[in-house]
Amino acid sequence: MTQKLAFIGFGVVGQGLMGILRDRNKFLRETEGFEAKVVAISDINKGAIYHPAGLDIETVLTVLKETGNLENYPDTPGLITGWDSLKTIRETNADTIVEVSYTDMKTGQPAIDHCKVAFENGKNVVMTNKGPVALAYEELAALAGKYEVFWGFEGTVMSGTPALRMPITTLAGNEITEIRAILNGTTNYILTKMEEEGLPFESALLQAQQLGFAEADSTSDVEGYDARYKIVILANYIMNKTLTVNEVFCEGISNITLKDIEVAKTEGKRWKLIASARKEGNKVVARIAPEKINLSDPLAFINGATNAITYKCDLLGNVTLCGAGAGKKETGFSLLIDLLTIHRKRTTSNQ
């Protein structure tokens, strides 16, 4: 069964998924029996197009590259332009919404409303926006359940590295009592450069910005806010415990000095920005803070922009997963993970 997709937002991540769908079309069809048809794209800056029979991916990417406006897509019978995001969600024939819009992290909007409208119209949602999952998980999960649709958000924690799918599937049967993680590549890159090359914080940050690891305004990364959203997602989804962003203690790395780095070395330790969540009775206690960790800790050897996460399991002990935490192709792949999950669920239910 072909999955019909509508993209809400079409920035780097959306284009990353689109490129994967183009390049892996034959491979996915032959190995998974999976086919996707992009029927609509709605982007507040790049324009909006919809064709119920499907859009040509190569033409979409070429038009965007050459003109910057999707509405310059070749005029064909049945092509509709100019629909906003909510109209696209409600009125196109897409069965799955790829929600990759620009979203306010403080409010989760407009992505929260996009999810609600999609669910109410019987449509699945796959997304990489952290805001809705961190700020409205219980409400949106209940709504998706009510309308019996799939809500996928693998890419919200560690990009395409399966920080959510892996524990839910392959660690099933374990109780995960604690999570410790490096969830922000920018801060890990900075700390690595400070230790290995003796760069002061400001110089390491500038280098991270020049390489594209950090935004011009790096506050969310270096002060730990990005990691705080991610640990909330992990607590709610993996540990099945209600945790809000405001309940998480948060301290960043901007006060770490080269002297601190050197002191840690003499102690046989290494600084990392650690996101942690630990079950205590019926609740979860979580924090984001720089820690001097022992070199025996698997997280101590995660360098550069790489992310990693350790799950403490009651049956298996500690299990550590590491991999990319960002990137166009990597985050695009996270959306593919969720699309394939929908496909496999459909295939199983039809047998």
Same domain as 249, residue 235: yes
Pairing between β-strand 307-313 and β-strand 269-280 as defined by DSSP bridges: unpaired
Q: Is the pLDDT of residue 216 over 90?
A: no
Same domain as 71, residue 51: yes
Same domain as 136, residue 13: yes
- Residue pair 181/325 in contact (Cβ under 8 Å)? The answer is no
Give the residue from 102, 104, 103, 105 showing the smallest Cα distance to 228. 105
Percent of the chain with pLDDT over 70: 99
Same domain as 147, residue 7: yes
Residue 247 vs residue 103, higher pLDDT: 247
Number of structural domains the chain divides into: 2
Question: Would you call 230 a catalytic residue per the annotation?
Answer: yes
Same domain as 295, residue 209: yes
Q: Is the pLDDT of residue 28 over 80?
A: yes
- Cα 184 to Cα 10, 11, 138, 287, distances in angstroms: 23, 21, 25, 14
Query: Measured between alpha carbons, how far is 242 from 290 in angstroms, rounded to an integer?
Result: 24
Pairing between β-strand 176-182 and β-strand 151-152 as defined by DSSP bridges: unpaired
CATH no. for residue 45?
3.40.50.720
Query: Measured between alpha carbons, how far is 215 from 324 in angstroms, rounded to an integer?
Result: 17
Residue 50, classified by CB atoms within 10 Å of its CB into exposed (0-12), middle (13-18) or buried (19+), is buried
SS (HEC) of the chain: CCEEEEEECCCHHHHHHHHHHHHCHHHHHHHHCCCEEEEEEEECCCEEEECCCCCCHHHHHHHHHHHCCHHHCCCCCCCEECCCHHHHHHHCCCCEEEECCCCCCCCCCCHHHHHHHHHHCCCEEEECCHHHHHHHHHHHHHHHHHCCCCEECCHHHHCCCCCCHHHHHCCCCCCEEEEEEECCHHHHHHHHHHHHHCCCHHHHHHHHHHCCCCCCCCHHHHCCHHHHHHHHHHHHHCCCCCCCHHHCEECCCCCCCHHHHHHHHHCCEEEEEEEEEEEECCEEEEEEEEEEEECCCHHHHCCCCCEEEEEEECCCEEEEEEECCCCHHHHHHHHHHHHHHHHHHHHHHCC
What is the structure's pLDDT at 304? 92
Q: Is the pLDDT of residue 349 over 80?
A: no
Q: Which domain holds residue 181?
A: 165-323
Same domain as 258, residue 236: yes
Angle value at C-alpha 202, between 292 and 207, nearest 5 degrees? 100
Tell me the average pLDDT of the chain: 95
pLDDT tier for residue 213 given thresholds of 50, 70 and 90: confident
Same domain as 174, residue 302: yes
What is the structure's pLDDT at 144? 98
Same domain as 301, residue 217: yes
pLDDT tens-digit profile of 18-27?
999 999 999 9
Q: Which pTM was predicted? A: 0.95
In this structure, which amino acid lies at residue 123? K
pLDDT tier for residue 212 given thresholds of 50, 70 and 90: confident
Q: Is 88 left (phi over 0), alpha (psi -120 to 50) or beta?
A: alpha
pLDDT tier for residue 351 given thresholds of 50, 70 and 90: low
Q: Is the pLDDT of residue 256 over 90?
A: yes
pLDDT tier for residue 105 given thresholds of 50, 70 and 90: confident
What is the structure's pLDDT at 279? 96
Q: Is the pLDDT of residue 235 over 70?
A: yes
pLDDT tens-digit profile of 169-190?
999 999 999 999 999 999 999 9
What is the structure's pLDDT at 255? 95
What is the structure's pLDDT at 211? 86
CATH no. for residue 198?
3.30.360.10
Same domain as 202, residue 95: no
Same domain as 189, residue 60: no
Tokens describing residue 90: 């409600």
pLDDT tens-digit profile of 109-158?
999 999 999 999 999 999 999 999 999 999 999 999 999 999 999 999 99
pLDDT tier for residue 347 given thresholds of 50, 70 and 90: confident
Same domain as 334, residue 318: no
- Which of 4, 46, 130, 230 is catalytic? The answer is 230
Same domain as 27, residue 146: yes
Give the residue from 186, 174, 219 showing the smallest Cα distance to 326. 186
